[in-house]
Structure 1
Amino acid sequence: MSAPTLPAHGTAAAVVHRPGRMWTRALSYWLLNYRRTWRGSVVSSFLTPLLFLAAMGFGLATLVDRGPDDALGVPYVSFIAPGVLAATAMQTAVGESTFSVMGAIKWQRQYHAMLAGPMGVTDVLVGHLVYVALRVLVTSAVFLLVAGALGVLLSWWVVLALPVAVLTGMAFATPVFAFAATTESDAGFNVLFRFVVMPLFLFSGTFFPISQLPGVLQPVAWFTPLWHGVSASRALSLGTAEVLPVLGHVLVLAVWTAGGFLLARRAFRSRLEV
């Protein structure tokens, strides 16, 4: 009897490969790596959003709340808290989806090491994305706990803002994964942070209603994932949420996430499959 032949790429690992079923191994690597580096993320992930909340919500709020009319209808700190929550989810997700992805392809090449075993490209992508989702989840949960302790959240419905924040983060993470997998230089990340992330942070309703923007810019804000994340989180936090509008925001975020995932999977296959 002749010996069984291996697939064309000639590795025994390919025989037992089950695409899409071993992403937990990729996740375990990123979790182990974070155990060694988490101290470096304390300021950016946890302290910075709380400092924004304190400076804007308790500092600037003393001027806003003394205005001639109560245009917001709620204390300013309660208005911006869910906005900062969604914006923090965006920043955390983008930060975890840029240099680490490029590094895993081009510099440290962790993805190549994973693919040398029984994992497939989809496993590598999904495992890393789940890690990013967990990072966003933990950061958002800590923010909500501190904001709740400060008494700036006005409704118990705000607990639903946590999954909304995670979905907001993933609506950014998946397309940024696709971008990071296709770019050859980290110079593109500077453009991304300066001309996409920062303008969205400032002009997607985080600190003031987008109705205050020039009319031509308001439809741009409606199209962005951050505005939908801010609007859904704010409605839940203030107790003004209605089912259909919130579901509409969630649907838009889900479409961004799914579309970005398809682009990321295509980009990963282009860069990593031989």
Structure 2
Amino acid sequence: MSASSSGPQEATLRWFEWAPVRGVWRREMALYRRYWPSTSFASLVEPTIYLLAFGFGFGSVIGAAYGYNYRDFVATGVVATSVLFISAFGSMFGTFIRRTFQHTYDAVLAAPVDVHELVTAEASWLAVKAGVYGCAPVIVGMAFGLSPSPGMLLVPFVAFLAGLAFALFGIWVSAIVPSINTFDYVISGVLAPMFLVAGTFFPVDQLPSFAAAAARVNPLYHCVELVRDAVFSDLGLHDLVHVGVLLLFAALMWSLAVWKMTARLID
């Protein structure tokens, strides 16, 4: 009789393991317990200021947009602000600092963690934060008269998807800029125009035809449209286009982020 192997078989690591993601999340949660009051304060104060300035200021002149009260229009549009600030800004600066100054990722990658798992963990954590804080403008809007609707329950999921895409965008940007000061070009030249022509404060149909066409390829525009359709109970098959654009943008940014982070951390 032939002898069989008595030792346990070695575990085979899959291409993607969730254990490293959970590890990064535990670290982020430990840090988050220290700074959550300031983040929560800013997430509630900013939409309040926008609603006071635009909703009541411009709203007294404009009255309505797309048939909705302008305050409600702004409250749903400002979700994009929360998503952008939490995800894109957080990933750009946070990832750059941890990679360049703190060398946190060198320590993480010394463990059995791959770059694509690290990128996924960082982006998904920021996406969850975007999903939570993306609800703040809607909650503030309800305090100013926005009528509750069942579709509001979908807002966290829309904010999560958009937040995931923009967090990955921020990670990719952090890996291609030569210095932290270079972020000024990205903020002023890319993020600010995306935010302003996303239909946040005015309908993109009011723009010149070429600008309106450009706005419709803006991922943030699709986030705003999904939020408005959900809050105003106007969801339909056309919203699958908005979801598809955000999914494609997230997939593209994941590929680029993993590629450039690998070049920075390993190659």
TM bucket (normalised to shorter chain) is 0.7 to 0.9
2:77 to 51, 70, 83: 83
Q: Work out whether residues 91 and 126 of structure 2, in 8 Å CA contact, stay in contact via their aligned partners in 1.
A: yes
> Which of these residues, 11, 15, 20, is aligned with residue 16 of structure 2?
20
Q: Give yes or no for contact 1:99–1:186 (8 Å, CA) kept in 2.
A: yes
* Percent of pairs with identical residues: 29
| Segments ≥4 residues shifted beyond 4 Å | 15-19
Whether 1:224 and 2:218 are equivalent positions in the alignment is yes
| Deviation digits for residues 238-269 of structure 1 (CA, Å, limit 9, x no counterpart) | 22222x11111011001000110011111121
1:18/1:120 contact within 8 Å kept: no
Once the two structures are superposed, residues 155-184 of structure 1 have per-residue CA deviations (whole angstroms, 9 ceiling, x without a partner) of: 321221221122122222212211112222
Q: How does 1:227-266 map to 2 (within 5 A)?
A: 227-242=221-236, 244-266=237-259
Contact between 2:77 and 2:199, CA under 8 Å: does it hold in 1? yes
User: Using the alignment, how far apart are the partners of 1:71 and 1:181 within structure 2?
Assistant: 40
The AA in structure 1 aligned to 2:157 is P
- 2:202 alignment partner, SS class: coil
Normalising by the residue count of structure 1, what TM-score does the alignment of the two structures yield? Answer: 0.86
2:266 matched to 1:273?
Answer: yes
Query: Could you tell me how far apart the structure 1 residues matched to 2:12 and 2:115 are?
Result: 15
1:150 alignment counterpart: 144
1:32 to 30, 33, 55: 30
Q: Look up the match of 1:211.
A: 205
Alpha-carbon distance change, 224 to 96 in structure 1, aligned in 2, over 3 angstroms: same
Correspondence for 1:56: 54
How far apart are 1:271 and its partner, in Å? Answer: 1.3
Q: d(CA) in 2 for partners of 1:19 and 1:240?
A: 41
Where do residues 112-123 of structure 1 align in structure 2 (5 Å cutoff)? 112-123=106-117
Q: 1:171, 1:256 within 8 Å by CA — same for their partners in 2?
A: yes
Structure 1 residue 195 displacement after superposition? 1.7
Contact 1:167–1:253 at 8 Å: present in 2 too?
Answer: yes
Of stretches 42-51 and 247-256 in structure 1, the one that deviates more from structure 2 is 42-51
Structure 1 letter corresponding to 2:189 = F
Distance 2:234 2:12 in 1: 52
Kindly state the Cα deviation for residue 59 of structure 1 after the two structures are TM-superposed: 2.9
CA contact (8 A) 2:88 2:170 kept: yes
Tell me how far apart the structure 1 counterparts of residues 235 and 14 of structure 2 sit (CA, whole Å). 43
Which residue of structure 1 lines up, in the alignment, with residue 105 of structure 2?
111
Structure 1: which amino acid aligns with 2:220?
L
Instruction: Please report how far the alpha carbon of residue 16 of structure 1 lies from its aligned counterpart in structure 2 after TM superposition.
Output: 8.5
Indicate the SS of the match to 2:209: coil
Q: Deviations over 1:108-158 (max 9, x none)?
A: 011111112222222221211121012112211333333334331453212
- 1:196 aligns with 190
Aligned equivalents of 1:200, 1:223: Cα separation in 2: 10
Unaligned runs of 5+ in 1: 1-14
TM-score scaled by length of structure 2:
0.88
- How many angstroms apart in 2 are the aligned matches of 1:150 and 1:197? 28
Q: Is the 8 A contact 1:87 1:226 kept in 2?
A: no
CA distance in structure 2 between the partners assigned to 1:88 and 1:140 by the alignment: 5
